[in-house]
Amino acid sequence: MAKPEIRYAGIVDVTFGKNVTVVQPVNLYGCTIGDASFVGPFVEIQKGVTIGKRCRIQSHSFICELVTIGYDCFISHGVMFINDSFVAGGPTPERHLWRSTKLGNHVSVGTNATVLPVTICDHVVIGAGAVVTKDITVPGFYVGNPARLLRTLV
């Protein structure tokens, strides 16, 4: 019987700010997590990701390479970030074809939302289950698939 190659991540090469809370089990590697942030269980944050100060990353979320999250952000349960747009017709291991995602400050992303490679301005709420396919430049509430502006913030 063949034996699989087993790889371990856990918490490896992470830069933590002050007063960060992490609930195990997690896979955090090569990332930066800002002061007073919280990371829940069953979260994966990949290399090169930057999480700002006072953020909450809830359980079962996946934050892939090339993602930057501003400060005072909330990433709810089961949120998925995508960096591969399948430009070659399927998944590509070629990193130069991946695209980055940037969330501004005071952004909340609802449960089970999916965020493709986009830029999201400050003061945005992404509804549960939304799929963000395009840049968001106007503060407000966004819902649906694809995510669309429901209403602006007052």
Per-domain residue ranges for the chain?
Answer: 11-152
Cα Rg of the chain (Å, integer): 16
pLDDT level of residue 8 (50, 70, 90 thresholds):
confident
Give percent helix, percent strand, percent coil of the chain, each to the nearest 5.
0, 35, 65
**Model pTM?**
0.94
Give 55 or 153, the one with higher predicted confidence.
55
* 100 CB neighbour count, 10 Å cutoff: 13
* Per-residue model confidence as pLDDT tens digits over 14-23: 999 999 999 9
**Averaged pLDDT, 44-64:** 98
| Bond prior to 139 in cis (omega within 30° of 0) | no
Longest alpha-carbon distance in the chain: 63
Q: What homologous superfamily does CATH list for 11-152?
A: Hexapeptide repeat proteins (2.160.10.10)
* Per-residue model confidence as pLDDT tens digits over 57-100: 999 999 999 999 999 999 999 999 999 988 888 898 888 899 99
